[in-house]
Structure formats: structure tokens, C-alpha cells
Structure 1
Amino acid sequence: MPTSTHKFGLKIFFAAAMFVITDKAVAQSNTQVLEQMGHLIDDALFFSDQYVTPATDAAVYQAASGWITSPRKRELWDVSLGIHTNVFFTPKRDREFTINNSDFTFFQLEEGTSATVPTALGNDDQVYLSGMLGDSEVRLETPQGMDMQTVAYPYLQGSVALWGGTELVAKYSTRVKLKKSNYQVYGFGVKHNISQYLDSLTQKKFHIAVLAAYSNEDVSFNFLDIKTDYGTLGISEINGIVDTWHFQASASKEFGRFEVLGSFIYSTSDVEYKVGGEKGSIEAIIPLQDVLNTRLKEIYKTRVNYIGEAGVSYKINNFSVQTILAFGKFVNTNISLQYLF
């Protein structure tokens, strides 16, 4: 028969064994959750790319319009200031995309094996996706789009004439609140008049100019608001940041108070993505926003665009009213009221 000392030793042994077994089970559970979290991040990365890329492609066109309002040579220190409004037409092909269960490693559609969902430029249709994180279900609605066939936003643009037919041009908008999104742009450029070297053109009121410019567009959308038993994920906003170098050649002809403009634009854009919004409570376990933003570098893009422009302006004393149509993959209209000081 075991003595009391033996009984005490057995209790210690069994307690230690239970601690090891429990600790191992917790470690296995944590490993499983972290692995599942990795799959969730992979799915969020896939969905982010499909959802926001059409909007960043469109942002290039929005920022490209209206840099050269006239290729005419200005007098030294002439200053112009204009209020511009971009009206962007969202093409149907870029308002939606198809997801399949085979696209995901964590989520699955709750109904069917495939579904059509909106991009950031699309409508407000939603479907449910779900997956298991540990022993708990994670369920989400796919994000809505802007549900706007045309997107309009204002910005300011100004220029100052320097020596030798050169102008500095700048554009800026505050953070503009659009439906379920925000947009901001700023940029600067240098324009140089070419026709000043060809008297035969200027005498016939033909004007030619070239421009090099840089712009930054930041467009953000409501994204995924996911709640889990491990905390909120804190990825309620996704941003597309577009850095564009813009090269343009323009020619115009004056007809009395009217000036008709045509341009060719080459642009190259570096597109980056990041998630934001208020950080979720899951950050106590894993720095999810930082992890996602590191992973989003995998879908950074460089876009090259060739864009045509056609425009017409009408001058009334020092005021000028202008409409410019930019066309290529997308169509964007720029309407402005300018004043020459």
C-alpha cells in the first residue's frame, strides 16, 4: 500500500503530466489559429487586388485631365487660377468581378460555388463568405462599391508664367468625400511653349507646348469589417496610392474667342495599396494591419497609359470656360472656369 509520501509524489506527477498535455494542446490550437489566420490574410490579399485595382486605374485618368488648359505662350508673371471638376464615367466591365470557392483558402461562399461581386466602382450588391478560425465561425459581407455610374469631384489648378515661354503648373484638392470613398490629389508640372520658335505657326494662331508633371492620388474605400471571437480585425478601409509621372504634348488653334485643343499623354504610375481605419482588438494577438500592409506590397503595380485629349474653351475677357475629354481605356471629362490675372 502506498504511503502518504508516495501519494503526494503521484499527485505531483499527474499534475505535471496534465500541464504538459494542456500546454501542448494550447500550442497546437494556437498554431492552427495562426495557420488559419495566414489563409485569411491570403484571401484578403486576393480580394483587395480584385476590388480596388479598377479604382486606382481610373484615378490615373482623373489626375491626367486638364494639365494643359492652353499651349499658348503666356507673358512673364502671368498668373492663372481655375476651378476644375472631373466627371469620370465608370465602365461596366470594371464595376464587377467573379469570385469562386477555388479562389480562397480560408473563406467559402455560403451559397453556391461562384458569385459576381462589385469592385470599388461597382454597385452595392453583397454576398456572404464564411470560414472557421479555431472553433469559431468568421462571417463577412463582401464590401459594397460606390454605386455611381459617374463620379464628379472638384479641385483647384493654377499656373505662373516664367521666362522663355515656361510655366509652373500645380493642382490640389482637399480630401473630397465621395459616396463610400474619399479622394485627394496634388501635383505640379512644368510646361514649355514650342511654337514660339516657329513664327509661321504663331501668326496663324497655332500653339504647341509640352509638359512634364508629377501627381499623387490617394483614393480610399470602405472595406472589410470582420468580427471574430479573437477580436475585430481592423481593416475597415483600403487605400490605393498612385504616384504618376505625366508627359504631354498639346496643340491648339484659336478661332476668335474659341480655342480648340488636342493632346497626347503618356503616363507611368506606381500603384501601392494599404489597409487602414481604426485598429482592431486582434492587434493584441497579432499586428494585423502591419502584416497586411507588408503583404500588400506583393500586388504593387506599375501602370503605363496612353491617353488622348480633346477640348474646347471660350474666352470672355479674363475668364475662360473649358471642357476637355480624356479617352483611352476610360473616359473622363474635365470642366473648368479659369481666370487670368
Structure 2
Amino acid sequence: MRKLFFILISLSGFSAQAQLNDINAVASDLIFLTEKYITPAAEAPTYQSSGGWYTNFTPKKIFEIEASLQYNLLLITNKNKTFLVNESELQNIQIQGSSTFAYIPTALGNDDVVVLEGSINGDSFEFDAPEGINEKTVKHGQLQASVGLWKQTNLIVRYAPNIKINDTNYQSFGFGVSHHLNQWIKSLKESSYHFGVLFNYSNTSVEDTFNAANLQLGTINGIAVDGETFGFNLVGSKSYKNFDFSSSLGLTSSKFDYKVSGTGELLLEILNQSLATLNTSKTNFKADFNVNYRFNNFSVNTMFTVGDYSNLNFGVNYCFNKRNVDLGIEK
């Protein structure tokens, strides 16, 4: 990477070694701060996208379709709102004033302003650290549909349209497959409990814009995160009259790609190439708890997902083709 910096800066007319060292140090500090700032906003959607994949876990009949209108409410805890920066962790950039440390808002944090400063070849610059969304929760709606297939297997698709929270945009889509295990285990075939597995994939996009950080080589005014998450869940459920109770234990594996935006071709190339080398893979464990109430072809459900983040999912659901199925497509 230092060789790349040397070539780029040489082509841009920078020849002094001291200047090269300053640029490398500033770039390293910006990568460090960027990762700390955006990581909570990258990880939080994985919990929203990992919940709400079923309203109940009783087997659907073939071609029985359930359409759902869902609403997610992600709870933001204080530990995810700020990150601590000590000047001893930085090479060039400093906290303005006499303090040697500061709590800087993450993308999920408040709108407190922390001023940072540095210098390149003796020329000083300063900028405000990006602010957060200044919300206690992240709320968004999504559409979901599931269809019963053969061998007690369900196919699920979902889509969350783009929403904007202050200066942050969020969008996602995904699909999943659930399969019931009772049919394969003799002792469970007549059980009133239902057990199964759920596999899901989600693609999330988060774009955050903020006041431009003016540096000598250009400006930074936004960060985009594209994330992919694969999930595996073990699910158990029990029905009582019109109520369905279910819970699951799950494992999610996520990978994120970061990209900063702004002005200054050299600055953006250095930062984005460095961001591409970060290890952004994340594995999480989580649990889901769901209650569903059925009436006629409708149902309403609430699912609580808990892990590093907590999310509440509310759904209003309607089943199609139940009458046709019950008349003989599959018993």
C-alpha cells in the first residue's frame, strides 16, 4: 500500500517524504475512524433482516400463500451510539482542544459535534466528525410473501423499500427456505409440537451522508455500506387454539463492503482501496420469540429478536388458497 501511495502522490506532484508520511498517517486515521463510525449501522440491519421470516411454524399446504405487511423497530442501545477515540490511537489527526480523548457519535448515535484537526506538510486542516441519526429506534416497513411447496417446505421472499432517516438511506431484500423436520422423525410425526430449520439470505444497503470533511486532498461527505447476510435457524413451535407460539436459535454470517464518497480522486482512491482490505466479516448468534393470533384467513404476530441488537417485528398477514388446498390439493 505504501508503494501505491508513493506512485500516486509522485504523479500528483508531491515529492517530499515528510508530506508523504503525513498523507499516509491521515489516511490511516480516517480508515480507523470510518470503520468505528459506520460499523454499528452495518451490523444493526442484520438483526432486522434476520427476524420475521415466519408468522407460525406449522406446515403450509402446497400452494398455500401467506402475504404479510411487516413493521420493524430496532432498539438502539447507548453502547452502539458512540465510540471512544484516544489520541494515542491516531497518527496525525487530533481532537481539537485540550482533551486527549472523545466520545464520537456512530452512525446510529446523536448529533453531538466533535471537531478533529490535523496537518499535511505543515498546513493545518480541521473538520467535524460525522453526526449520527439522533434517534432512539430505527423503524421501517417491509413486504413478505411465503408459499407452501412439496415435502413441507416453504419459500419466502421479502422486500423493504428505500427509507430515509435524516441523512441515512436504508433498503433491503431477501429470500428464505424453511423445512419441517417432524415428517422425518418417527417419534415426532404425531406430535403437537413442530420443529424445523430455516435458511435465509438478505442483501442490505445503507447510505449515510454528512457535512463535508474538508481535507487538503479533497472532501469526504458520505459512506455507503453493502451487506450480505446468510442465516441458519432451528425453530420450534406449538399451537393452542388460535394462538401459535414459536422460538428459534439462529446463526448469522455477514460480509460488508464500505465505500466513501466526496471529491478528490486521489483521496477517494486511497481511502476506498484501504477500506477494501478491512476484515468486515461478522458472525452473530441470536434468538427469536414469536406469538401469532389467527382469525379466519388473517393473523397478527409479533416477533422479538435479541442478540447484540434487539428488534421488534410486527406483522399483519393474510392466507390465500386455503379453501382450495383443503378441498383436496393436499391433505
Match of 2:104 among 109, 117, 136: 117
1:264–1:229 CA distance, 2 compared to 1 (3 A): closer
Q: CA RMSD in A?
A: 2.1
Is the radius of gyration larger for structure 1 or structure 2? 1
2:244 corresponds to:
259
Q: How far off its partner does 1:178 sit?
A: 1.6
Match of 1:212 among 178, 199, 216: 199
Aligned 8 A contact 2:167 2:210 in 1? no
CA separation in 2, counterparts of 1:28 and 1:294?
20
Q: How far off its partner does 1:33 sit?
A: 4.0
2:132 corresponds to:
145
1:9 corresponds to:
none
Q: What SS does structure 2 have at the residue aligned with 1:71?
A: coil
For residues 101-121 of structure 1, what are the alpha-carbon distances to aligned partners after superposition, in whole Å with 9 as ceiling and x for unaligned?
A: 222222111112111111111
1:27–1:217 CA distance, 2 compared to 1 (3 A): closer
Q: How far off its partner does 1:89 sit?
A: 0.7
Where do 1:172-321 residues align within 5 Å?
172-197=159-184, 201=188, 203=190, 205-223=192-210, 225-228=212-215, 230=217, 232-233=218-219, 235-276=220-261, 279-280=262-263, 282-283=264-265, 286=266, 288-321=267-300
Give yes or no for the alignment of 1:102 onto 2:113: no
Aligned 8 A contact 1:68 1:250 in 2? no
Q: How far off its partner does 1:136 sit?
A: 3.5
**Code of the aligned partner of 1:340:** C
TM norm structure 1: 0.84
For residues 234-292 of structure 1, what are the alpha-carbon distances to aligned partners after superposition, in whole Å with 9 as ceiling and x for unaligned?
A: x211122221110111111111111111111111112222213xx41x22xx2x22321
Count of residues paired in the alignment: 308
Aligned 8 A contact 1:51 1:120 in 2? yes
Q: Percent identity?
A: 31
For residues 58-110 of structure 1, what are the alpha-carbon distances to aligned partners after superposition, in whole Å with 9 as ceiling and x for unaligned?
A: 22211111113222111111111111111111111121111122222221111
Runs of 5+ in structure 2 lacking a partner?
A: 1-11, 321-331
2:50 corresponds to:
64
Greater share of residues in helix? 1
CA separation in 1, counterparts of 2:59 and 2:189?
10
TM norm structure 2: 0.86
Where do 1:43-62 residues align within 5 Å?
43-62=29-48
1:166–1:28 CA distance, 2 compared to 1 (3 A): closer
Q: What SS does structure 2 have at the residue aligned with 1:61?
A: helix
**Code of the aligned partner of 2:85:** I
**Code of the aligned partner of 1:250:** V
Q: How far off its partner does 1:174 sit?
A: 1.8
Aligned 8 A contact 1:272 1:300 in 2? no
